[in-house]
Structure 1
């Protein structure tokens, strides 16, 4: 695997440099659109609505508009925002793991300790496991500020992106507001049916039948010589974690003292 970026988990004065890797990958067969007459690849052009010219990526900026006014935002302007440059996975709070609703989960990343940070990494992992807690964190990736859950998976710390609260829609279905009567016998029979399907979940037992059949279809056409030759026209920073390195025990002591001072002040 190749790391996406390098950063550091920070909580209190503790700093844990890590490498971030995408934990999942898409197994779908990539398909292209082609002309049914001659098999030529169909490509989309980035054409400007104002001048009609095809525009190279180097001349494309982003913009916001409300239908009447348009504000153009250049890449240097977006890159200058503090959140876009952040290389910290900042721990905001530690919460009971069972409080997280799976509907909020997004993409998952593996975190690998970097350099001499293994002890602090293992300490954080063991602490999360022993306390049944998940760390709620803030981080930035691809010029977006994100909310995340830092949790344990086996021997690895996993960073899982979370949706922001206002990104989860309410399911206010009127039909569910009407009372429904369910008898004890119906509930009992439903329970029996569930028990008949009970089993421990083993992901490797399941396969994507459509993709398996699609690969077989492609292989069959190749074997029968039904492939066309692709013509030439069809072919197509690491940042330092930063900061002075403190002794791990000293960083923990200072962080606990600071947390207690804040708690006392709030009281």
Structure 2
């Protein structure tokens, strides 16, 4: 079994208490990466950098700039940009503790498993136990690969979970969306049928493993058949069903 590679290692700074930890990405990508190929020679294609004047530009002649007006730019020196980037640090500083329920699900960007660097680390397990007992999360900042992130630490199974959080100005305001303010009147009969339909599909235990990425599975099967020289038939999309009233749809779904 291949060991996971740590994404970051350092220490949690909790007042005067330092806790050596490591974090590992909680998820992995299973996406298929396609390559763009030359149809004639079946080899990868490459891009050339061309400016708007139609001239090819070498890497040595590329600078970094920001557009402050339409088609107007000012240039920033690469060294100036580097100086603004946060310095690499091995310390994750805790700034505050909050009630876990105060962290809106939309704040979360990415999750990491957090474990102690050494066995039987009393400070690590003390923090984990207290966060679980008090239903709190620690809020702090961590620098990963020269980028500073806002993060939350909460208990998770036998260890801790470090969650990267979006900053406030990255969150879109749901109140800016349309069609949410005018709530239609819903009858008791519609609610009753809706409850029955929820109960019909209710599972006491959620099993994530039963859901598969059908595109990935079908793509693997397609490649397997084409490599074997088999004829591949693509199923046509089913015609769209006629629209019916909400009440009719609820009744038909329950009887199905």
- Larger relative CO (CA 8 A, sep 6+): 1 or 2? 1
Q: Which residue of 2 aligns with 1:188?
A: 192
Q: Which residue of 1 aligns with 2:206?
A: 201
- Measure the CA separation in 2 of the matches of 1:48 and 1:90: 44
Q: Is the 8 A contact 1:17 1:117 kept in 2?
A: no
Q: Which residue of 1 aligns with 2:115?
A: 112
Of residues 132, 141, 144, the one that matches 1:141 is: 144
- Measure the CA separation in 2 of the matches of 1:155 and 1:183: 46
Gaps of 5+ in 1: 226-267
Q: State the aligned residue count.
A: 224
The SS at the match of 1:66 is: strand
Higher helix share: 1
Task: Give the C-alpha shift of residue 99 in structure 1.
Answer: 1.6
Out of 31-40 and 203-212, give the one that drifted further.
31-40
Of residues 73, 95, 98, the one that matches 1:69 is: 73
Task: Give the C-alpha shift of residue 177 in structure 1.
Answer: 2.0
- Measure the CA separation in 2 of the matches of 1:104 and 1:7: 24
- Measure the CA separation in 2 of the matches of 1:125 and 1:110: 13
The SS at the match of 2:179 is: helix
Q: Is the 8 A contact 1:78 1:84 kept in 2?
A: no
- Measure the CA separation in 1 of the matches of 2:188 and 2:122: 55
- Measure the CA separation in 2 of the matches of 1:105 and 1:10: 22
- Measure the CA separation in 2 of the matches of 1:218 and 1:72: 47
Of residues 88, 92, 95, the one that matches 1:89 is: 92
The SS at the match of 1:83 is: coil
Task: Give the C-alpha shift of residue 5 in structure 1.
Answer: 2.5
Q: Which residue of 1 aligns with 2:177?
A: 173
Task: Give the C-alpha shift of residue 83 in structure 1.
Answer: 2.6
